[in-house]
Amino acid sequence: MQRAGPTCQVAVEDDGLGIPEAERSAVFTPYYRIERSRNRGTGGTGLGLAIARQIAEAHGGTVVAEATALGGARLVLTLPAVA
């Protein structure tokens, strides 16, 4: 977590397969899954990132997906800082 001027940022990174650049905005769509073989039976609903973005936006913030230096996923939550 870091404060960047009038905002605070929380970044979560992993060193897994990452999110392909072409899908980084699509992952915030409800029910979207990069892993097409996943379903309710194998885990997940495809709602987590969509809900996270809605909550962030309701508080005047954003959530974006990026790549890490190692090629994994990096998700960055940015919210307005409180004085």
Can you tell me the mean pLDDT for 17-39?
87
User: pTM of whole model > 0.75?
Assistant: yes
pLDDT digits (tens, 9 = 90+) for 34-79: 876 666 666 678 899 999 999 999 999 999 999 998 889 999 999 9
Q: Which residue has the tokens 């994994």?
A: 72
In this predicted structure, the answer to whether residue 20 has a pLDDT above a threshold of 90 is yes
Q: Which CATH superfamily is domain 2-80 in?
A: Histidine kinase-like ATPase, C-terminal domain (3.30.565.10)
pLDDT for residue 26: 95
pLDDT for residue 25: 96
pLDDT for residue 3: 93
Q: Which residue spans within 1-83 are E strands per DSSP?
A: 2-4, 7-13, 62-67, 73-80
